[in-house]
Chain A
């Protein structure tokens, strides 16, 4: 069965700190790893990673995938109170297996940024 594990489960930092969120996975026929930010309701898409070693960057957020070691990290530099949210990692699989089409989510990391 596909599995996605995130760590830490929660993190409390102060504005300006840099944080690293971790995501490890076991999935048959891996296709992609996605990061989402969930504040109130709808998870907001951040990144999709399919290739190892290529960093994706958007402002203060960046993410990288290691397909050999089966993990990804999400970095947030110079954190702000608006970064407080649950960060979700999800993995999608290729066709041919029972996982095709669905995303398997980790339990999320709750990030709290204090002023």
Chain B
């Protein structure tokens, strides 16, 4: 069974640009979660999508947004990039309570 996949693996942007990160959940999973793992800060919850709807949102500004498509894949958009947005962005999927993580996208903002 294929796991959670994310693309791209690495992304380099400059301040003020926009970044789009993609996630495909495990087949049959309807929920997708996004987390930010910045150096020294641990995993911070960003967004939760279930059945195409945003269900919960962490303490991040509105320039972090996303969506979930009918096939349950998801996209995270970060607008007006700032240097402190540099981090590993992890996507997870679940059917019930256990969340299974993808390999992440390393975003570097220069």
Contact = CB atoms under 8 A, between A and B. Distances in A.
Interface residues of B, number: 25
Interface residues of A, number: 24
A114 B46 CA distance: 36
Interface in A28-57: 31-32, 34, 36, 41-45, 48
A101 B103 contact: no
Contacts of B103: 41-42
**Interface secondary structure of A, over-half rule:** strand
Interface string B28-67: 0001010100000011110010100001101000000000
Given A32-B97, A43-B43, 17 more contacts: A34-B97, A34-B98, A41-B88, A41-B103, A42-B3, A43-B101, A44-B101, A48-B98, A98-B56, A101-B31, A101-B55, A102-B45, A103-B33, A103-B35, A103-B43, A103-B92, A104-B45
